[in-house]
Amino acid sequence: MTKKNTNKPSHSHKTSRPAQTHLHFFEQRRDQMVDTIRRLVEIESPSDNKHAVDRCSAFVAEEFAAIGGRAEFHRSTEYGNHLQVDFVGETQQKPVLLLGHYDTVYPLGTLASMPCRAGNGRLWGPGVLDMKSGIALMLYAVQALQSWHGRLPRPVTVFLVSDEEVGSQSSRQITEALAKQSSAVLVLEPSYGPKGAVKTARKGVGEYLLKVSGVAAHSGLDFEKGQSAILELSKQIIAIAKMVDLKRGLTLNVGLISGGTRVNVIAAEATATIDVRIARMKDAAEIDKRLRSLKPFNRKCKLEISGEVNRLPMERTSGVVSLYNKASAIARQHGWRLTEAAVGGGSDGNFTAGLGIPTLDGLGGVGDGAHAQHEFITISELPKRAALLAGLIESV
Ligand SMILES: [Zn+2]
């Protein structure tokens, strides 16, 4: 009998394990993944509660340490601590950066009215899509690669922040520094739509505060001495609405207004908070200039504007496209078609893409209702997403 050479050293990882085997590996661990996600969701972590977020990050750190990662906290006094986990790899390549956040928009106690539950092939719960399932995908993809190759085929850095939902002020510098040392950034934010498109373009985001000062007066006795800040603000809001240019992907939304003290007093103060979204990099400076050059209609009123475009748009650069092409090829090997989308919301991927580091966003869970009562993920998509992530870590 001819002896087959079954114990020869493994081939290159590209051919030793067919794609279907990889997918199967995750399919077998689907319930475990759901379990991990459930445990993450059940540790509530609203951005504004450091204590709660730290509890969640400690749990996540332990999970990564358990699979051999070197976990290190970047302490923050105001927000929760940020978590960096480094994994060494077989090669000396630059690491690939897996980026995400564990903070959510849901206040402590939300679980009481919005419990984490499974049914109809879905898992519901606060932050399940945005983005606790993304954290679980990181864990399982790293673990899988270790089990397929004995050790990770290349270095991987995981960075999870505590303040993404409130603008990432305290984590941004670290995110950018880590991205600069990495060959690519894979962002595990939720995917887009029911088919789980990845995000190859994101709008930039800004927030401005417009403060109007007028002159208070009794509306009955001294009407003509008053200069209404509310009236002035109303005119400014219309002027701001005229800056919207949908074709350009430029939108401004006055989402909050306040002003006045009493119904019979001409308002001395009024403010508006403006959400700005831009599709093109160069619109950041342009819209900033236009907002700062607003002039009062009533010269006896004063305007004060503060704020900035905080996240630049993630443009569909060639680096982004090449990552997307790699991801599509991996999905095809697994028997499904990956699509891409341009979205209005920003993420920390905007920072890294803004530095010119190839970034692919929306690699996380598939579902709907981020930030809403019906937030859920589709359980059957988890193995596909994990296999996609593992494949990308190997090939970028
Ligand atoms: Zn998110």
Q: How far is the CA of 302 from the centre of ligand 1 (A)?
A: 38
pLDDT at 310: 87
Mean pLDDT of the 76-93 span: 96
pLDDT at 10: 42
pLDDT digits (tens, 9 = 90+) for 240-252: 999 999 999 999 9
Q: How far is the CA of 2 from the centre of ligand 1 (A)?
A: 57
Q: How far is the CA of 130 from the centre of ligand 1 (A)?
A: 5
Q: How far is the CA of 101 from the centre of ligand 1 (A)?
A: 7
- 382, two tokens: 């988890």
Q: How far is the CA of 81 from the centre of ligand 1 (A)?
A: 17
Among 14-18, 64-68, 163-167, 193-197, the minimum mean pLDDT is found in 14-18
More confident residue, 232 or 18: 232
pLDDT digits (tens, 9 = 90+) for 251-279: 999 999 999 999 999 999 999 999 999 99
| Peptide bond before residue 131 is cis, with ω within 30 degrees of 0 | yes
- What is the average pLDDT score of the chain? 94
Q: How far is the CA of 209 from the centre of ligand 1 (A)?
A: 24
Q: How far is the CA of 129 from the centre of ligand 1 (A)?
A: 8
- 128, two tokens: 């399940």
Confidence check: pLDDT of 167 > 70: yes
- Ligand 1 is an ion; its neighbours by CB within 5 Å are 130-131, 189
Confidence check: pLDDT of 12 > 90: no
Q: How far is the CA of 168 from the centre of ligand 1 (A)?
A: 11
Confidence check: pLDDT of 157 > 70: yes
Question: Which residues 6+ apart lie within 8 Å of 240 measured at CB?
Answer: 210, 252, 254, 272, 274, 291, 294
Axis-axis angle for helices 318-333, 382-395 (nearest 10): 120
Q: How far is the CA of 56 from the centre of ligand 1 (A)?
A: 15
pLDDT at 17: 53
**Dist. CA 331–CA 333, nearest whole Å:** 5
Q: How far is the CA of 7 from the centre of ligand 1 (A)?
A: 45
pLDDT digits (tens, 9 = 90+) for 177-220: 999 999 999 999 999 999 999 999 999 999 999 999 999 999 99
Contact between 190 and 370 (Cβ < 8 Å): yes
Q: How far is the CA of 172 from the centre of ligand 1 (A)?
A: 14
- 108, two tokens: 């402590």
Mean pLDDT of the 365-392 span: 97
Q: How far is the CA of 165 from the centre of ligand 1 (A)?
A: 7
Beta 302-311 vs 265-266: how paired, if at all?
unpaired
Confidence check: pLDDT of 5 > 50: no
User: pTM, whole model, 2 decimals?
Assistant: 0.83
Three-class HEC string of the chain: CCCCCCCCCCCCHHHHCCHHHHHHHHHHCHHHHHHHHHHHHCCCCECCCHHHHHHHHHHHHHHHHHCCCEEEEECCCCCCCEEEEEECCCCCCCCEEEEEECCECCCCCHHHHCCCEEECCEEECCCHHHHHHHHHHHHHHHHHHHHHHCCCCCCEEEEEECCHHHCCCCCHHHHHHHHHCCCEEEECCCCECCCCEEEEEECEEEEEEEEEECECEECCCCHHHCECHHHHHHHHHHHHHCCCEHHHCEEEEEEEEEECCCCCEECCEEEEEEEEEECCCCHHHHHHHHHHCCCCCCCCCEEEEEEEEEECCECCCHHHHHHHHHHHHHHHHCCCCCCEEEECCCCCHHHHHHCCCCEEECCCCCEECCCCCCCEEEHHHHHHHHHHHHHHHHHC
| HSE-up (13 A, CA, CB side) for residue 376 | 14
Q: How far is the CA of 259 from the centre of ligand 1 (A)?
A: 32
Confidence check: pLDDT of 64 > 60: yes
